[in-house]
Copies of this chain bind each other. A is one copy, B any other.
Amino acid sequence: MIQTFEINPWKIVTHQLDKDHKRLQESMTSIGNGYMGMRGMFEEDYSGDTLPGIYIGGVWYPDKTVVGWWKNGYPEYFGKVINAINFIKTNVLIDGEKIDLAIDQIREFELSLDMHNGILTRQFEILKGDKKIHFKIQRFVSVSQKQLFDLNYEIENRSDSDVSIEINSEIDADVKNEDANYDEKFWEVKEAEVDGRSSYMIVKTKPNNFGVPRFTVGVKAQYLTLMNEHKVIKDDWDVQNIFKQTLSPKKSIDFEKRVVVVTSRDYSQPENLKLALNDISSRVIQKKRNQLIHEQSAVWNERWEHADVEIEGNNSAQQGIRFNLFQLFSTFYGEDKRLNIGPKGFTGEKYGGATYWDTEAFAIPMYMALADQSVARNLLEYRHNQLAGAFHNAQQQGLKGALFPMVTFNGIENHNEWEITFEEIHRNGTIAYAIYNYTRYTGDESYLLSEGIEVLTAISKFWADRVHFSSRKQVYMIHGVTGPNEYENNVNNNWYTNLIAKWTLKYTMDALGKLDKGRVEKLKVTPHELRHWSDIIDHMYLPKDSEYGIFLQQDNFLDKELKPASSIPINQRPINQHWSWDKILRSPYIKQADVLQGIWYFIDQFSPEEKKRNYDFYEPLTVHESSLSAAVHSILAADLRYEDKAVEMYERTARLDLDNYNNDTDDGLHITSMTGSWLAIVQGFAGMRIDRDGFLSFKPFIPKKWSAYQFRINFRNRLIKISVKGKQVTIKLLSGSPLSIKLNGKIVKLEGSK
């Protein structure tokens, strides 16, 4: 656990350049606008350890799969988020000497991410010989004009004598991914020009052998700066604008770089792309910087107005939830339905791929409440659009129906560990569950009965082929899986997987019952298949143990040596960084909620006693080394009124990255699990549910250390505000028609406040 930033309700701020945890600081100061984003690396060259990264949504490269031992069925390529060409690059020379914060002497350092406005500021005074120069550097990616990145320098000469300032600003295509095979570059430069006030470059991803379309990216930099001297350089891999000026004592100069980025995703014709690049550039250059900042603030303010969770009495908790919402919205705000929510967003290249089951499990429940209903629906349609890939994935394993991928950009599986790729099939269940979750929350059946049912039948066909019938035990089983708890591989009858498979079949059959015969026939579901599905539903094996009164995570789980996670020596945590894989596998330790994940999904279908026994048994064995674990535990603990535990788990999910809990934030933030802190407050502390009778219901409590909290949600075209202050709960309908809800089990009618 490393806390390298200060506690502050609206800022991620530090006054120390922490060279030992530079990558961590970079991750934490990432910015994005859904369209593009970047880590918090410095604009200038930094000779210490650093992980630069600029990413453009939906632009990726299919890199050849590399494994030690090939298995039949592995995907041919692994889709990688590409480190984009470096358009922020700006070196500053003082009296001819480059600044490099890894070695230069500095003071008054401040690095501050203003979450309210989405602006990153860096300030420091640098001492070079007897010269003292102060820098204030601000950057943002615009949320009002997606293609725009703005960078501004205020440089002040605090010395007693003249200083020569040279600014060398580049667009640099000589960029690699840290994890590329064979150190290859992904970009080819197609065109580049530079003049005194601007430069541009058009690059294309290099060819691939997998028939994946190549991407073209156009970047134009413009400079709003008057300096005495300027010159330009054009090389094979970069274009440079160099500005120079002598600065008298106490004088300042400003330097602004505006960059516009367009891609072939929006302009598939090269000539249109270039036109758009010039067109948008000429528009953005006409605005004053103040105006751009004003627009930036306006959009962010509106987002906060709707989505902010306000916590009184605990700035640490407050900072956590805001940081998570800020980073989530920086990654995805639902404007582009071709995009999804990558596990690292724009904050790192790790994990490749854009889309994981995290989206359906953890992101959709939050976006349903915080963004327009269409955003969640777009996320569902994203999967429907990739159904062909899911059929392909199942076929790769010799199975019928559709298997949605573990990791993907285009629907084709990208992952290549057999125990995950081939076995972590429960992901398919969550794709189905999200359809149910959306339908239940919004009350809108139209997706379910149109595209949704196509997805559901395809998944059900997969399950029906993937189970087998054990003649000996006269039940259906699912062998050879990895459950949500990835610290068990190739197990038999993972309770969660069996449950979600059975549930999917049932939900699909119920939905089919709502369709006319012709439509069912078009879906190619035969009566024979339906009988088979019914039989599976009736005879699916769900392992349990009568002695403990629990659901069994998998066959034979209780044969293990059951010692609580608290008995693991602290210097061996996290275990995945200290133990060999076999030791982890045969230990009883659980990476993330597994049985409890299932209980969370269907929380209204289990008795308090069942919930308690399973929670009490599994939670002590859980090491929460997946970022997805703590939120589920917080919600269930809250449900059981284990309030302290719920808060502990909330803090872990809310500050996972802020406090680097699992010692793995240096290469990027855990974007998808950031929804967990919101879920923990809303579903956990406030106890929000859609109950069995279809009521929106709440059962709030307040963490001991807090004095009040409040949040707003969308619900069926209404905006509702929930405030909890001490024992006092206030629920207000801010907009929309009256609605009956339940508060602590009692029906309450919300009337509009207007």
On whether the beta carbons of B559 and A556 are closer than 8 Å, the reply is no
A555 to B470, CA, bound (A): 14
On whether the beta carbons of A472 and B182 are closer than 8 Å, the reply is no
Q: Does A296 contact B (CB under 8 A)?
A: no
In the bound complex, residues from chain B placing their C-beta under 8 Å from that of A419 are 490
A490 to B417, CA, bound (A): 14
In the bound complex, residues from chain B placing their C-beta under 8 Å from that of A583 are 397-399
Question: In the complex, which of the residues B182, B423, B579 contacts A182, with contact meaning CB atoms closer than 8 Å?
Answer: B182
Q: Does A561 contact B (CB under 8 A)?
A: yes
Question: In the complex, which of the residues B182, B492, B576 contacts A556, with contact meaning CB atoms closer than 8 Å?
Answer: B492
In the bound complex, residues from chain B placing their C-beta under 8 Å from that of A72 are 576-581
Question: In the complex, which of the residues B422, B469, B559 contacts A473, with contact meaning CB atoms closer than 8 Å?
Answer: B559
Q: Name the residue on B nearest A585 (C-beta).
A: B480
Name the segment of A61-69, A279-287, A451-459 touching the other chain: A61-69
On whether the beta carbons of B559 and A68 are closer than 8 Å, the reply is no
On whether the beta carbons of B417 and A68 are closer than 8 Å, the reply is yes
On whether the beta carbons of A582 and B66 are closer than 8 Å, the reply is no
Q: Does A378 contact B (CB under 8 A)?
A: no
On whether the beta carbons of B470 and A579 are closer than 8 Å, the reply is no
Interface of chain A residues 580 through 626 with chain B (CB within 8 A): 580-583, 585-586
In the bound complex, residues from chain B placing their C-beta under 8 Å from that of A66 are 66, 68
On whether the beta carbons of B580 and A73 are closer than 8 Å, the reply is yes
Q: Does A489 contact B (CB under 8 A)?
A: yes
On whether the beta carbons of B559 and A479 are closer than 8 Å, the reply is yes
Q: Does A704 contact B (CB under 8 A)?
A: no
A396 to B582, CA, bound (A): 11
On whether the beta carbons of B473 and A561 are closer than 8 Å, the reply is no
A472 to B559, CA, bound (A): 6
Question: Assuming the A-B contacts A472-B559, A561-B468, A561-B469, are A416 and B68 also in contact, with contact meaning beta carbons closer than 8 angstroms in the complex?
Answer: yes
Q: Does A558 contact B (CB under 8 A)?
A: yes
Q: Does A46 contact B (CB under 8 A)?
A: no
On whether the beta carbons of A582 and B418 are closer than 8 Å, the reply is yes
Q: Does A432 contact B (CB under 8 A)?
A: no
Q: Name the residue on B nearest A558 (C-beta).
A: B472
Interface of chain A residues 73 through 96 with chain B (CB within 8 A): 73, 78
Q: Does A514 contact B (CB under 8 A)?
A: no
Q: Does A560 contact B (CB under 8 A)?
A: yes
Q: How far is the CB of A456 from chain B (nearest CB, A)?
A: 23
On whether the beta carbons of B560 and A468 are closer than 8 Å, the reply is yes
In the bound complex, residues from chain B placing their C-beta under 8 Å from that of A679 are none
In the bound complex, residues from chain B placing their C-beta under 8 Å from that of A517 are none
In the bound complex, residues from chain B placing their C-beta under 8 Å from that of A558 are 472
Interface of chain A residues 349 through 404 with chain B (CB within 8 A): 396-399
Q: Does A477 contact B (CB under 8 A)?
A: yes
Q: Name the residue on B nearest A423 (C-beta).
A: B582
A579 to B556, CA, bound (A): 27
Q: Does A71 contact B (CB under 8 A)?
A: yes
Q: Name the residue on B nearest A572 (C-beta).
A: B398
Question: In the complex, which of the residues B470, B560, B585 contacts A559, with contact meaning CB atoms closer than 8 Å?
Answer: B470
In the bound complex, residues from chain B placing their C-beta under 8 Å from that of A477 are 559
In the bound complex, residues from chain B placing their C-beta under 8 Å from that of A71 are 580-581
A472 to B552, CA, bound (A): 14
Q: How far is the CB of A521 from chain B (nearest CB, A)?
A: 30
On whether the beta carbons of A69 and B418 are closer than 8 Å, the reply is no
Q: How far is the CB of A82 from chain B (nearest CB, A)?
A: 19
Q: How far is the CB of A330 from chain B (nearest CB, A)?
A: 28
Q: Name the residue on B nearest A399 (C-beta).
A: B583
A66 to B68, CA, bound (A): 6
A560 to B418, CA, bound (A): 20
On whether the beta carbons of B490 and A489 are closer than 8 Å, the reply is yes
On whether the beta carbons of B73 and A417 are closer than 8 Å, the reply is no
A10 to B69, CA, bound (A): 38
In the bound complex, residues from chain B placing their C-beta under 8 Å from that of A582 are 73, 397, 418, 422-423, 480
Q: How far is the CB of A464 from chain B (nearest CB, A)?
A: 14
In the bound complex, residues from chain B placing their C-beta under 8 Å from that of A480 are 582, 585-586
Contact with B along A418-452 (1 / 0, CB 8 A): 11001100000000000000000000000000000
In the bound complex, residues from chain B placing their C-beta under 8 Å from that of A422 are 580-582
A66 to B182, CA, bound (A): 11
Q: How far is the CB of A467 from chain B (nearest CB, A)?
A: 10
A578 to B398, CA, bound (A): 9
A418 to B586, CA, bound (A): 13
Q: Name the residue on B nearest A422 (C-beta).
A: B582
Point out which of A68, A397, A556 has the most chain B C-beta atoms below 10 A from its C-beta: A68
A408 to B594, CA, bound (A): 38
On whether the beta carbons of A417 and B69 are closer than 8 Å, the reply is yes
Q: How far is the CB of A472 from chain B (nearest CB, A)?
A: 5
Q: How far is the CB of A471 from chain B (nearest CB, A)?
A: 8
A182 to B490, CA, bound (A): 32
Interface of chain A residues 457 through 510 with chain B (CB within 8 A): 468-473, 477, 479-480, 489-490, 492
Q: How far is the CB of A195 from chain B (nearest CB, A)?
A: 41
On whether the beta carbons of B579 and A398 are closer than 8 Å, the reply is yes
Q: How far is the CB of A97 from chain B (nearest CB, A)?
A: 36
Q: How far is the CB of A626 from chain B (nearest CB, A)?
A: 15
A205 to B541, CA, bound (A): 58
In the bound complex, residues from chain B placing their C-beta under 8 Å from that of A470 are 559-561
Q: Name the residue on B nearest A492 (C-beta).
A: B556
In the bound complex, residues from chain B placing their C-beta under 8 Å from that of A67 are 67-68
In the bound complex, residues from chain B placing their C-beta under 8 Å from that of A479 are 559-560, 585-586
| Additional A-B contacts beyond A66-B66, A66-B68 (20; CB < 8 A) | A72-B579, A72-B580, A73-B582, A182-B182, A397-B582, A398-B583, A399-B583, A419-B490, A422-B582, A470-B560, A471-B561, A471-B562, A477-B559, A479-B560, A479-B585, A480-B582, A480-B586, A555-B555, A555-B556, A556-B556
Report which A residues bind B (CB closer than 8 A).
65-69, 71-73, 78, 182, 396-399, 416-419, 422-423, 468-473, 477, 479-480, 489-490, 492, 555-556, 558-562, 576-583, 585-586
Q: Which 6 A-B pairs have the closest CB atoms?
A: A73-B580, A422-B582, A480-B586, A479-B586, A67-B68, A71-B581
